[in-house]
Amino acid sequence: MAEAVIGNAQRSLWYKIRIFVNSYFINIFAGGLFALLAIFLAFPLVMVFIKSLWGDDGFTLSFYQEFFFYNFYYWSFLNTMILGLSVMSILVVVGFCFAYMTTKGPHWLRTPLKICALMPLCAPPYIFSISLITLLGRNGMINNFFNLDFNVYSWTGVIVAQCLAFLPLSYMMIENVLNSQNPSLEESAADMGASEFTIMRAITIPLAAPGVLKAALLVFVMTIAEFGNPAILGGRIPFLAPDTYLMITGEGDFNMASVLSVVLMVPCIIIFIIHNYILKGKGYTTIVGKPTAVDPKDMTPVIKYSLLAIVVPVAIMILLCFAVIVLGAFVKIVGVDNTFVIDHMLNMQSNTAIYNSVKLSLMAGLFGAIVGTLLAYVIMRGKFKGRKIMEMLALSGFALPGTVIGVGYIMAFNSPPFLLAGTIWILILNCAFRFLAVGVEAGISKLHQISIEIEEASADLGADFITTFFKVILPIMFSAFIAGFIYTFMTTMMSLSSVIFLVTPGFDLAAVYIYLTAQLGELGLASAATVKMMLIVVVCFVSLKLLAKKTGLDVIEKK
């Protein structure tokens, strides 16, 4: 008798828990995720902000004062903005030319150009400074061959390197925009006798403008945050991102580094707001349903050749840069002693660094993808206050410069209650949360497409929430999961700006290793490590794609 009562009580307790979980599932989830976001994204940023205002004797504005007194800092800020703007304007033009050629150009040219434009994706952005030094350095191959006196340690060098590094970003976004234009509009204009130039001016460009603007802003943010190229090629020109890094690693001055971080953050936040709130929903999609197949037209020669005049040199430059990296990996000292050696490739330290990178990227990718998908779900389907703030926080990782988050992480997690410094977890969490945005965005757009009725139907048929979640929601969101995973994986492999603050002895990362060896001037080792890393990235990417294909999930279909 007594046993039965206890049994009943237990059962009813279990029942109550299940009911409770069922009805509040989403809120429990949301609470947990919100705590994670707050600790691992907001808290470090708050720390940076506090540190910029909090000296040894409490609150002070003296660090900001210092910023405005030294015109070194002022120049540093100005230079960063100039760099961002010039790379942005160049890449809008070049990216558009590439995109136009690959969507409307001659067929045989499309694939090779596309490959060229996307190639920089599979290596860290700052490898271009390595190859530019080899090619155009003061003792570089091209300089010597043509007897030029081009100085690569200059503004031109930095801008060229940054442009090459971020071409894929601008190209992908603009190509996406051009692809969503209905060709019949242009067709009909052409039928009515408009020249291709008029069509371009009156239809293609105005229709693409909002999308292109978005691409431009993103390029701007990425450029000012990336510090490898300016640090290696900048010579004596100060830039904010490398200065923040030197301020910490060289001088251990956290207050000033925080001030520089806050200053760097200001334009990024402005752009983030413009991007997500003012430009949101702007953009023209003129395709409804399936695009009608149109016979490809030949381009007007004038336009074709003038576009080619821009596109071909850039493509050649990219190919040359990669060729030099491969060459550098296999010769003794590239440009000085071109005998074949295999030493660089066999260097053990770089192998471990790459192994560590793969390990870290896999874990960060998995963690980031899980959190990202869940966040997207909670933001879309939850019915609690503060969803907008949560969305903003989750997406902000995109706009925040890596150096800032890196600085924030060492300040936030080097002491209790969150003592993480020196462990692999600080790296995993850093990468996962920084690159969360793509998973979240993909998840949100996926859930936009799928009506909530499917979930309701499942609930009506008697499935409780947990069953619905695993049987209905997860499969729906799986492509978002993959998108988040791949993005986080790739960017973690390449990312330098935040992890460089967090690496510890014995856990070298490939990106950091390549940067440090390049900075020390050991181009052979840096090239070899880059080649190995590129191989691994390509292998990983291809096998992921194959796996997805085998299992019927197409990775390419992102949004």
Partner 1 sequence: MKYKIFFSVLMAAIVTFTSPISSVWASDSISAYMGFSREVNEALAKQIQDKLGIEVKNITLSWGEIWARLKTESPRFNADMVLSFGASEAINGAKKGYYELYQSPGWDGIDAAFKSKDGSYHALGTFSFLLLGNTKKLAEMGYEMPKSYKDLLDPKWKGQIVIPSPRTSGTAYMINYSFLQLYGEKDGWDYLTKLNENVAFYTKSGNAPTDLVGRGEYLLGLGADENVLKRMKDGYPLVWSVPEEGIGYEGNYCTILKGTKKLDLCKKVMDYLGSEEISHFLGSMGYIPPRAGSVSALYGEVQPKFIKLDHAWAVKNKRAIVKQWKSRFLMKETVKARKVGDEKEKKAAAQE
Q: Which residues contact partner 1 by CB under 8 A?
A: 56, 62, 65-66, 69-73, 133, 137-139, 153, 231, 235-236, 238, 246, 248-252, 254, 332-333, 335-337, 349, 358-359, 362-363, 366, 410, 414-415, 419, 421-422, 424, 474-475, 478, 482, 485, 503-508, 516-517, 519-523, 547-548, 551-553
- Single out the residue of 523, 520, 129 nearest to residue 333, CA to CA: 523
Q: Tell me the sheet residues that pair with 337.
A: 333
Nearer to partner 1, 209 or 516 (CB): 516
Cβ contact 404:43 at 8 Å: no
Residue nearer to partner 1 on the CB measure, 204 or 498:
498
When the beta carbons of 193 and 505 are compared against partner 1, the nearer one is: 505
Minimum distance from residue 551 beta carbon to partner 1 (Å) = 4
**Min separation Cβ 44 and partner 1, Å:** 15
Query: Hunting for tokens 């409804």 — which residue is that?
Result: 288
**Closer by beta carbon to partner 1, 2 or else 348:** 348
Q: How far is the CB of 166 from partner 1 (least distance, A)?
A: 24
- Residue 251 or 557: the one with the smaller Cβ distance to partner 1 is 251
Closest separation in Å from C-beta 55 to partner 1: 9
Question: Would you list the DSSP string of 199-230?
Answer: HIIIIIHHHHHHHHHHHHHHHHHHHHH--HHH
* Between 100 and 515, CB nearer to partner 1: 515
Q: How far is the CB of 23 from partner 1 (least distance, A)?
A: 27
Report in angstroms how near the CB of residue 504 gets to partner 1 at its nearest. Answer: 5
Residue 418, burial from CB neighbour count under 10 angstroms (0-12, 13-18, 19+): middle
Q: Which amino acid is at 231?
A: A
Shortest spacing between CB 75 and partner 1, in angstroms: 8
Closest CA relative to residue 281, chosen from 218, 176, 203, 210: 210
CB of 469 to partner 1, least distance (A): 14
Rg over alpha carbons for the chain, rounded to the nearest Å, is 26
Q: Nearest Cα to 558, choosing from 473, 469, 481, 472?
A: 481
| Residue number with CB closer to partner 1 (48 or 399) | 48
Judged by beta carbon, residue 27 or residue 414, the one nearer partner 1 is: 414
Angle 498-213-313 (CA atoms, 0-180°, nearest 5)? 80
Closer to partner 1 by Cβ: residue 144 or 292: 144
Instruction: Give the nearer residue to partner 1 in terms of CB position, either 414 or 451.
Output: 414
In terms of CB distance, is 12 or 414 closer to partner 1?
A: 414
Beta carbon of residue 74, minimum distance to partner 1 (angstroms, whole number) = 9
Cα distance from N-terminal residue to C-terminal residue, the chain: 60
Minimum distance, C-beta of residue 503 to partner 1, in the bound complex (Å) = 7
CB 442 within 8 A of CB 484: yes
What burial letters (b/e) apply to 272-305, b meaning 16+ CB within 10 Å?
beebbeeeeeebeeeeeeeeeeeeeeebeeebbe
Distance of CA 303 to the CA centre of its chain: 32
CA–CA separation, 29 and 13 (whole Å):
21
* Distant-in-sequence, close-in-space partners of 219: CB < 8 Å, separation ≥ 6: 87, 88, 91, 92, 95, 166, 169, 170
Say if residues 401 and 265 touch (Cβ distance below 8 Å). yes
Query: CA geometry: angle at 128 spanning 138 and 161, to 5°?
Result: 80
Gap between the Cα atoms of 207 and 201, Å rounded: 10
Minimum CB distance to partner 1, residue 28 (Å): 23
Q: Distance between CA 368 and CA 431 in Å, rounded?
A: 8
Residue in the structure block whose two tokens are 């403008």: 209
Judge contact between 102 and 110, C-beta under 8 A: yes
Residue pointed to by tokens 């694939």: 111
- Torsion over CA: 455, 456, 457, 458 (sign): positive
For residues 512 and 499, is the Cβ–Cβ distance under 8 A? Answer: yes
Question: Least separation, in Å, of the C-beta of 419 and partner 1?
Answer: 8
Distance CA 274, CA 279 (A): 6
Q: How far is the CB of 350 from partner 1 (least distance, A)?
A: 11
Look at residues 265, 291, 327, 349 and name the one whose alpha carbon lies nearest to residue 134: 327
Using the minimum distance from each CB to partner 1, give the nearer residue, 248 or 510: 248
| Nearest to partner 1 of 319, 362 (CB atom) | 362
**Closest to partner 1 by CB, 18 or 559:** 559
Query: Is residue 451 left, alpha or beta, with left meaning phi > 0 and alpha meaning psi from -120 to 50?
Result: beta
One-letter amino acid of 43: F
Least Å distance between CB 124 and partner 1? 18
Six-digit token pair at 559?
């949004």
